[in-house]
Amino acid sequence: MNLVLLLPEDLIERDGPCARAVLHDRRLDHLRRVHRAAPGRELRVGLLGGRQGRATVEAIDATAATLRVVLDTPSPPKLPLTLLLALPRPKTLRRMLQTAATMGIQRVVLMNSWRVDKSYWKSPQLEPAAIAEQLRLGLEQGGDTMPPQVDVERLLVPFAKERLDVLAAGTTRLLAHPAAPTPCPRHRAEPITLALGPEGGFIADEVALFEHHGFAPVALGPRLLRVEQALPALVGRLT
């Protein structure tokens, strides 16, 4: 945890950028076990959806930590990147959401695809609270307070027909596809919408559907990467 992420309900006093916060949950445990925090200790903190800054530990014991907080610094700007992610298996989904938040991705759409196992759509990991928890873990790692917007699209064709063009308007549209003859471009400053396939990859009809909506299939090279490897490789290459 590189930044202690505060929730609005943690704040017991607020006066402009100054606040006092009380923590009880896993963050208290982390402060005690990992940071070995004691009164007077300074910590990097941020308010979910708000600014970040510093906190001083006023008191800490097994039941609560009280922090005196100054929130005066904006979080880093988001990457102008929208990720269209074919729903992965629940364990991978957790990691992908964390990675997206850590890397500063602006928006994530979890979408269906032919080779997405139907059982994945029943996962409790898709509950809004479960998604929010993974995003918070990713923000704590990256030192950010602004989570990506996450949307869920359970039907690919209606999503593509009715919403994809609006969502991707004004962006460069790329579909990561190992079989594509075109290499993924490098160092792009403009907004990008990037589609990432399921474990088994996109089927030909899906590649054609995305191409119809202006997406260029691009490859990272001849090796087949897991989605959790492909995402950081693609983001590192594109930004």
CB of 221 to ligand SAM, least distance (A): 5
Q: What pairs with residue 6 in β-bridges?
A: 47
Q: 197 with 220: CB under 8 angstroms?
A: no
User: Helices 227-238 & 90-103, crossing angle to 10 degrees?
Assistant: 20
CB of 136 to ligand SAM, least distance (A): 25
Nearer of residues 152 and 219 to ligand SAM, judged by Cβ = 219
Pairing of strands 42-47, 216-218: unpaired
Identify the three-state secondary structure at position 50. coil
Long-range contacts of 220-226 (CB under 8 A, 24+ apart): 220/176, 220/178, 220/183, 220/184, 221/183, 222/178, 223/178, 224/178, 225/178, 226/92, 226/199
**Interface of this chain with ligand SAM, residues 198 to 217, rule: CB under 6 A:** 199-202
- Among 25-33, 89-97, 126-134, 219-227, which window interacts with ligand SAM (CB under 6 A)? 219-227
CB of 237 to ligand SAM, least distance (A): 10
| Side-by-side strand order, sheet with 42-47 | 4-6, 42-47, 52-60, 65-73, 18-23, 11-15
CB of 177 to ligand SAM, least distance (A): 6
Please report whether residue 163 would count as binding ligand SAM according to CB under 6 A. Answer: no
Phi, psi of 23 (to 5 degrees): -115, 140
- Helix H, strand E, coil C: the string for 116-137 is CCHHHHHCHHHCHHHHHHHHHH
Q: What pairs with residue 107 in β-bridges?
A: 82, 149
- Among 98-106, 137-145, 146-154, 194-202, which window interacts with ligand SAM (CB under 6 A)? 194-202
Please report whether residue 223 would count as binding ligand SAM according to CB under 6 A. Answer: yes
**Interface of this chain with ligand SAM, residues 165 to 184, rule: CB under 6 A:** 176-179
Identify the three-state secondary structure at position 30. helix
How many of the chain's residues bind ligand SAM (CB under 6 A)?
Answer: 19
Please report whether residue 225 would count as binding ligand SAM according to CB under 6 A. Answer: yes
CB of 19 to ligand SAM, least distance (A): 42
Nearer of residues 91 and 226 to ligand SAM, judged by Cβ = 226
Nearer of residues 36 and 187 to ligand SAM, judged by Cβ = 187
Among 1, 167, 216, 219, binds ligand SAM (CB under 6 A): 219
Please report whether residue 109 would count as binding ligand SAM according to CB under 6 A. Answer: no
Nearer of residues 140 and 215 to ligand SAM, judged by Cβ = 215
Binding site for ligand SAM (CB under 6 A): 176-179, 196-197, 199-202, 219-221, 223-227, 230
